[in-house]
């Protein structure tokens, strides 16, 4: 149950950060790079919680 909660919280944080990145007043290219970084960090965090790393 703890793993499920951790995965859910991680997913919600990633979605929230992606939403906030969309609201930033910066160039589209920079937004895209930030989004890719956030998604990669989120995937790595999810893999850690699932015991892959």
Q: By three-state DSSP, how is residue 24 classified?
A: coil
Structure pTM?
0.82
Location of structure tokens 């960090």: 41
Q: How confident is the model at residue 7, as a pLDDT?
A: 87
**Count of helix runs (H) and strand runs (E) in the chain:** 2, 0
In angstroms, the CA 45 to CA 51 distance is 10
pLDDT digits (tens, 9 = 90+) for 7-53: 899 999 999 999 999 999 999 999 999 999 999 999 998 888 888 77
Encoded tokens for 25:
């007043």
């Amino acid at each position: 149950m703890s793993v499920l909660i951790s995965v859910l919280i991680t997913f919600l944080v990633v979605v929230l950060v992606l939403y906030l990145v969309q609201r930033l007043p910066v160039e589209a290219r920079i937004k895209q790079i930030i989004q890719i970084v956030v998604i990669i960090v989120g995937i790595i965090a999810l893999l850690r919680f699932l015991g892959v790393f």
